[in-house]
Amino acid sequence: MTITLNSPLDMHLHLRDGEMLKTVAPLSSHSFAGAIIMPNLVPPITSIEALLEYKSRILSSTCRDRFEPLMTLFFRDDYSYEFLKEAKKEISALKLYPSGITTNSEGGVSSMDIEGLRDVFEAMSELEIPLLVHGETNGFVMDREKEFVSVYEQFAKNFPRLKIVMEHITTKESAELLGRYENLYATITLHHLYITLDDVAGGLLRPHLFCKPIAKRAEDRDALLDLALSAHPKVMFGSDSAPHPIDKKESCGCAAGVFTAPIALQALASLFEKNDNLQNLQAFVSENAREIYGCEPLSKEVTLEKTPFLVPDSYGGVVPMFAGEELDWSIKSVS
């Protein structure tokens, strides 16, 4: 059995910089035609100059493949209309992080009060720049995303022309929100379709499955599965593949992030096939994103086949999800 995907896209990806960028970028560019690149470097990407330099480093790390990095700026509440108008030519979106909520988000927004965000949100609405949001409060870890629902509602109601993407949703409450506001969309990761908190911490602690937002309950995962497997038109695949060196994961202060880029399409094919929804995979990994972002990806055909794939223990010192395990789908060819 095979399936050929047309220009798969990863709409939420961390590529890092320096040596890590050189290690991980080719693993995405091999099988994806493009990706939304997260700006949470140290320091974060907040200027057009830094963004263009980063983009050229990405392009030199992926030069053997046809791959388009879709760049984003780290959201700041003091960006001017003029700045955003210039930035618009180079970016696909702005990414908003509540301050300190996840890896390298210290320079994020400290209050979600819409009065302080109004000017930038209005400029973005006018310029048609999508807003990508890491939607968590700093409350109890299992409730952080649920507590953010009221913030999403305020954003969506007050700025109806602003396209808002709830990034890496993990709860049934977020899934339900999609139906209530026309301007809300979402990305869903691979790992949140597979795991619950039990897989992370129910037995021996699995640091390579620890991420923000943390995986939730079975009913939450099932709500995400319903959206993904039916390729709900408001959801897109965004891996949130977030590489950290092995010593930062297998440590007493484990960094948050699951590394899935090189195994994502194989594991998605397996999941969709097991659930008899292989025919919806193309929309989930490409068509929906094209529609939502209004983008035309580079052409790339990725053929997957139902042949076992032994996931390596590590890719250059970064441990992937399913390390050492066998997936039943593999990549046959890319053209």
* Of the candidate residues 48, 201, 256, 295, the single one contacting ligand NCD (CB under 6 A): 256
213 cis-preceded (ω within 30 degrees of 0): yes
Position 208 contacts ligand NCD (CB under 6 A): no
Q: Cα separations (Å) of 74 from 42, 92, 95?
A: 11, 12, 5
- In this structure, what token pair is assigned to residue 146? 């649920």
Give the residue with the Cβ less far from Zn ion, 95 or 282.
Answer: 95
How near is the Cβ of 101 to ligand NCD at its closest, in Å?
Answer: 7
Instruction: Tell me which of 240, 247, 313, 328 is the catalytic residue.
Output: 240
Position 61 contacts ligand NCD (CB under 6 A): no
How near is the Cβ of 303 to ligand NCD at its closest, in Å?
Answer: 29
Residue 35 DSSP symbol:
E
Q: How do strand 326-327 and strand 309-310 relate by DSSP bridges?
A: antiparallel
- In this structure, what token pair is assigned to residue 295? 């983008």
* Strand ranges of the sheet holding 301-305, from the earlier edge strand across to the other edge: 2-6, 301-305, 330-334
How near is the Cβ of 37 to ligand NCD at its closest, in Å?
Answer: 11
Whole-angstrom distance, CA of residue 271 vs CA of residue 322: 13
Give the residue with the Cβ less far from ligand NCD, 215 or 278.
Answer: 215
Give the residue with the Cβ less far from Zn ion, 145 or 240.
Answer: 240
CB 261 within 8 A of CB 27: yes
Whole-angstrom distance, CA of residue 324 vs CA of residue 127: 46
Q: Which does 72 bind (CB under 5 to 8 A by kind): Zn ion, ligand NCD, none?
A: none
Q: Which stretch binds ligand NCD (CB under 6 A): 20-28, 101-109, 272-280, 315-323?
A: 101-109
Q: Is 240 a catalytic residue?
A: yes
Q: Kindly give, in sequence order, each residue whose CB lies less than 8 Å from that of residue 4, ignoring residues fewer than 6 positions away.
A: 301, 302, 303, 304
* Of the candidate residues 3, 10, 14, 73, the single one contacting ligand NCD (CB under 6 A): 14
Q: Which stretch binds Zn ion (CB under 5 A): 51-59, 187-195, 236-244, 301-309?
A: 236-244
List the catalytic residues.
Answer: 240
